[in-house]
Amino acid sequence: MERAFAVDDAELIRGTLDGRREDFDALVERYQKALYAFAYRFVHDHDQAADIVQVTFVQAYTHLKQFAGRSSFKTWLHQIALNECRALHRTAAARQHLSLSDMSERALEPLVAPDADTIGWKPLLERLITKLPLRQRAVVILRVFSDLPFKEIAWLEGISENSAKVSYHHAIARLRSWVREKDG
């Protein structure tokens, strides 16, 4: 596996398409932690994040011939993962029509906002990010945690680079406002 880290993504993709399964394994090893971190920040559930990563790699392997190289492989993987996160969000939104009396007390715990002093700022910030509208949430996570440039975020979102920047800045302003409210 040491050779795999000295090889660029394009060569590993060609190797995978030529039938070398170990080349795809190298791509998985290279990107699984970053994708898991991305998915977890989006859904805030370890099992769901792991499922999203698994589905992302299955989709990537299945559709690898369709990877045209218009973006980096990392960006393409994030696009697949983002689509999975959104699909999960749509499914969860459809299930939210339960009445509160049908839910157990334990199921309601995530709805209670924890105090920043109790949990620290990083978990509070990640919790606040989950309250952002989907596009803003995606742009912030892709930019801050996945370190993607605005140009690639724009491509993923199907928007202009300027729109990606505006979404990011609106999200940051909203997060700052919420943090000030928590302090006040």
What average pLDDT is seen over the chain?
Answer: 82
Q: Is residue 147 part of a domain?
A: yes
We report the CATH number of the domain holding residue 149 as 1.10.10.10
Which one is predicted more confidently, 146 or 84? 84
37 and 142 in contact (C-beta within 8 Å)? no
Residue 176: its pLDDT value, please? 86
Averaged pLDDT for residues 17-32: 95
pLDDT tier, 180 (very low <50, low <70, confident <90, very high otherwise)? confident
pTM, entire model: 0.67
Per-residue pLDDT tens digits for 61-114: 999 999 988 889 999 999 999 999 988 877 765 444 433 334 333 433 343 344
For residue 119, pLDDT over 60 is answered with: no
Nearest 10 degrees: Cα torsion 76, 80, 81, 84: 170
CB 154 within 8 A of CB 139: no
The two three-digit tokens of residue 112, written as one number: 């209670």
Q: Which range, of 2-6, 20-24, 32-36, 112-116, averages the lowest pLDDT?
A: 112-116
Residue 13 is given by DSSP the state H
Domain that holds residue 26: 1-97
8 Å CB contact between 43 and 87:
no
The answer to whether residue 152 is domain-embedded is yes
What domain count does the chain have?
A: 2
Q: Are residues 135 and 73 in the same domain?
A: no
Together in a domain, 66 and 147: no
Last residue of a domain, one of 72, 97, 122: 97
Task: Give the highest mean pLDDT range of 29-43, 78-92, 133-147.
Answer: 29-43
Q: Which of 97, 124, 154 is the last residue of a domain?
A: 97
pLDDT reported for residue 181:
82
Give residue 128's pLDDT. 87
